[in-house]
Structure 1
Amino acid sequence: MILPVIMCGGSGSRLWPLSRTAYPKQFLSLVSEQTMLQDTVHRLDTLAKQDPLFICNEEHRFIVAEQLRRCDMPHSGIILEPVGRNTAPAIALAALKALQDGDDPLLLVLAADHVIQDAQRFVDAVELAVPLAEQGKLVTFGIVPTEPHTGYGYILQGEPLPNAGFEVAKFIEKPDLSTAEHYLQVGGYLWNSGMFLFQSSRYLEELRRFRPDILTACETALTQSRLDLDFIRVDAGAFTHCPEESIDYAVMEKTQSAAVIPMDAGWSDVGSWSSLWEVNHKDQDGNALRGDVLTEQTSNSYIYSEDRLVAAVGIENAVIVETKDAVLVASKDKVQQVKQIVEQLKTTNRCEHLHHREVFRPWGSHDEIAEGERYLVKKVMVKPGQRTATQMHYHRAEHWIVVSGTAKVYNGDESYLVSENESTYIPIGAPHAFENPGKVPLEIIEVRSGSYLAEDDIIRLDSHGVGY
């Protein structure tokens, strides 16, 4: 049996403003109606497999759990990394967890943010790799190149193996354009996809040989882990001291057991807006359009509207992305520089790199819709059966107006129901929370007023839900 291990880390800054640190691209619907994470799981449907094991950071845990819940996707657990330590330690945690359960499955290591347009060819490549992995090979999947790409590392094929695949002759860093053109011309070079198949014990065996310090730290972190609902919380102290290293550097470039299976399945890591344009459906003018978009004399462009009408006239080879709080306009051949905009946002302490205007929480979401000198208005949605944390504020009062559903309000020592078209007032310093006791989503308009309205004027008084 194959145990899929789906890596859900990464900030996806090159797809800003859609992708943000708190809500990166793997959780977005970019090429289908499903999110990239959900697409990754669905393409495993025809494989003989166990329920997937997920690895993500602490901040994204509820997003992963909620996206799996929405599609009724069973899983084998969600391992939480207290800090990012790259792929070698993350995969070690998954391998140790698999052995902890008494099995020694083949681990199919996948990223949650890759596009694969031909799911059957992907499955075929994985099935070709199974016999090699069962023989002790550490198999990686090399993408058959379609262009001289300088944004990917390459794998040079070695001697052919019986039945399928090749020995790995060499892993190569991202080349310059002339070198990439040479690779494409001579053949035998594949893009390094970062997908792997190997037996849990074999990976740990090679990790112990080449990086025992990583393995020891991961063993300690998992041994001292604890369960929290669906989440496996590894020991933060032990994992924080783990060296940061990729699986390529730690194991794959050193082992004598590396093998590669060529894969031609319409793969992309969607590392830029131009690559997203390439994998999306285009109209007769070569435009990939999402949302409320009108074009006139516009061609070969990617235009995305999240909240408003976007109209483009006389534009060629452009990227236009509109969200509720930011608009990106870029030349399609300059989109790699978007990350420099993100760095500017960080340097100037702006929040647009961190989260969207609409922020998702385990209990629901809140969206800022108006702001003035002494007021701030938010639309708040609470899912059925959910409740916010009890909290208080020193500088602001709040008015809550229920526009849909019924709210159970906790206000100081009182608790009471507020129905549609009714409102309530929360004075400064009063402990408060609200709950949705009903069966439909609760929608509230929250009006804050006071001398200081920022999010850090908050004192949490209990552990119900998660506050703003």
Structure 2
Amino acid sequence: MALHPVILSGGSGTRLWPVSRELHPKPFIRLADGETLLQKAFVRAASLDDVADVLTVTNRELFFKTSDDFEALPQARSLTKNYILEPFGRNTAPAVAIAAQYIAASYGDDAVMLVLPADHIVNDQRGFAEAVREAHALALDGRIVVFGVKPHSPETGYGYIEADHNVVKRFVEKPTIDKANEYLASGRFLWNAGMFCFKAGVVLAELAKHSADLASTANDCYSAAKTLSGSDFNQLLLDAETFEQVPDISVDYALAEKSTVLAVVPCDIGWSDVGSWSAISDLSQPDAEGNRVVGDVLIHGSSNCFVQVEEQRVAGLVGVRDLIVIDTPDALLVADRSRSQDVKHIVAQLKLRNHDAYRLHREVHRPWGTYTVLEEGSRFKIKRIVVKPGASLSLQMHHHRSEHWIVVSGTAKVVNGDNELLIYTNESTFIPAGHRHRLENPGVIKLVLIEVQSGEYLGEDDIVRFNDRYGRVEGGTPTS
């Protein structure tokens, strides 16, 4: 019987700031091999037997970023890509409940789902496939299957499962170091990997039995959702008002710790939830002094450090030890290696200050491409804008700022007030405040231009959209 992987791609990854941001969360972190965690999850799912489609649950704001990640993968070309688009985060139980309704409606109650977090690492694909086959068989027998990873160290950042072969005896919250050592020595405990396998109908029945409010409100949300289909994709766009009524709860609390049809598959698959910079550093090979680096890094007299820098940046370490140094174009993190879990407190402070650095990078992704803030000051801002071939910004207007566009490479098709014109390399156009305008790339190469904004207010919220192909006008629907 076919297997239907469901990738849960949410969260903000606050412990992996400054690379992870609210609009660039943990699944989009690109590792040293060039792949993002989300891409790795998709490949992991697509490489299993009897998979014809993959369902991804993510935030609506991240749909195009997700789609771009998948389009770059050869494994994605032959599969149908389905999406459930949330208006905001609501934990894992609502995502699982609505995904189960979608799968049951599309393929029947007996369809088997494999739920996978988008931001984990699994290094042993063969071992993973074997564990999935065992879980699949148990799921066909009506069980809700959790994956328990055999521990190799006394981790305090993971939840644990006490198990006897396939029998779950109890779940245990993140333990103290003493308890973690005790669990490791006993041989009875497994790390809770947050992966599940079950029939869609079984999980819906169990949710109705053990979390009736969740099941009822999730059903209302599913019924109110809008649908959109294309040649190789389907979207379910959730309604914000009904989705807000669904309880914010994890699938562990809502179901796993209550169900009487639970089973566990113990496995040893090279798993990590890469939940901190210390865990990320373990993915790189150390030098003779225990240092691990990603990027152009020079080290002298230092040991046991992890340093990651962006392209076109150089970092140097002299006479230090046990540090984590993460450098991005607009933010720098320096942390004691033993306290990498505490990075989330910096993000909390940024939120209190309403600082943009918790939400987005200097380079911001949009459905049509990217923009990068090069410089800004009182009454001016300079951006580099890159528009993908065939893509278009919305027809829009600004109340408080004018814009001057200079084409660096490619050709721009521009609506400026009542005029429509083509602008070539080294040419420009000026758009006064209050003018309707649109920027489009009609060519086959990327369009790159410099935008100079001037005015009394330069916030990104000074925008009135009249028409948009990406569903960002009220009542609109996103397209691929």
1:437 aligns with 2:439: no
Q: What is residue 253 of structure 1 aligned with on the other side? A: 257
SS for the counterpart of 1:425 is strand
Cα distance between partner residues in 2 of 1:298 and 1:105: 54
Contact kept in structure 2, 1:367 and 1:379, CA below 8 Å: yes
Contact kept in structure 1, 2:167 and 2:263, CA below 8 Å: yes
Aligned equivalent of 2:153, options 147, 157, 164: 147
1:115-154 equivalences under 5 Å are: 115-154=121-160
- 1:226-266 Cα deviation digits (max 9, x unpaired): 11354211333322211222111111111122111112111
Q: What is residue 44 of structure 2 aligned with on the other side? A: 43
Structure 1 residue 285 displacement after superposition:
3.0
1:404 aligns with 2:406: no
Gaps of 5+ in 2: 473-480
- 1:117-153 Cα deviation digits (max 9, x unpaired): 1111111111122221111111111111111111111
Cα distance between partner residues in 2 of 1:242 and 1:466: 24
Matched to 2:383, the amino acid is: K
Contact kept in structure 2, 1:298 and 1:316, CA below 8 Å: yes
1:45-124 equivalences under 5 Å are: 45-72=47-74, 73=76, 74-103=79-108, 104-124=110-130
1:270-419 equivalences under 5 Å are: 270-307=274-311, 308-419=313-424
Judging changes above 3 Å, is the alpha-carbon distance between structure 1 residues 465 and 204 closer, same or farther for their aligned structure 2 residues? closer
Cα distance between partner residues in 2 of 1:451 and 1:244: 40
Aligned equivalent of 2:238, options 234, 241, 257: 234
- 1:410-434 Cα deviation digits (max 9, x unpaired): 1110010110111111122221111
Cα distance between partner residues in 2 of 1:428 and 1:234: 35
1:188 aligns with 2:182: no
Query: How many residues matched?
Result: 462
Gaps of 5+ in 1: 161-165
Structure 1 residue 466 displacement after superposition:
7.7
SS for the counterpart of 1:89 is helix
Q: What is residue 201 of structure 2 aligned with on the other side? A: 201
Matched to 2:69, the amino acid is: Q
1:416-427 equivalences under 5 Å are: 416-427=421-432
Cα distance between partner residues in 1 of 2:27 and 2:34: 13
Q: What is residue 163 of structure 1 aligned with on the other side? A: none
Structure 1 residue 111 displacement after superposition:
0.2
Contact kept in structure 1, 2:405 and 2:449, CA below 8 Å: yes
- 1:60-113 Cα deviation digits (max 9, x unpaired): 122112211222513341001223322122111111111111332211100000
Cα distance between partner residues in 2 of 1:373 and 1:466: 32
Cα distance between partner residues in 2 of 1:296 and 1:334: 23
Contact kept in structure 1, 2:32 and 2:294, CA below 8 Å: no
SS for the counterpart of 1:386 is coil
Identity rate of aligned residues, in percent? 43
1:455 aligns with 2:460: yes
Structure 1 residue 12 displacement after superposition:
0.4
Cα distance between partner residues in 2 of 1:197 and 1:144: 18
Q: What is residue 217 of structure 1 aligned with on the other side? A: 217
Structure 1 residue 182 displacement after superposition:
0.7
Structure 1 residue 465 displacement after superposition:
4.6
Structure 1 residue 288 displacement after superposition:
2.2
Matched to 1:4, the amino acid is: P
Give me the TM-score of the superposition, normalised by structure 1: 0.95
Cα distance between partner residues in 2 of 1:32 and 1:86: 29
SS for the counterpart of 2:113 is strand
Give me the TM-score of the superposition, normalised by structure 2: 0.93
Matched to 2:98, the amino acid is: L
1:157 aligns with 2:163: yes
- 1:270-293 Cα deviation digits (max 9, x unpaired): 111111111233333322211222
Cα distance between partner residues in 1 of 2:423 and 2:373: 22
Structure 1 residue 223 displacement after superposition:
2.2
Matched to 1:330, the amino acid is: A
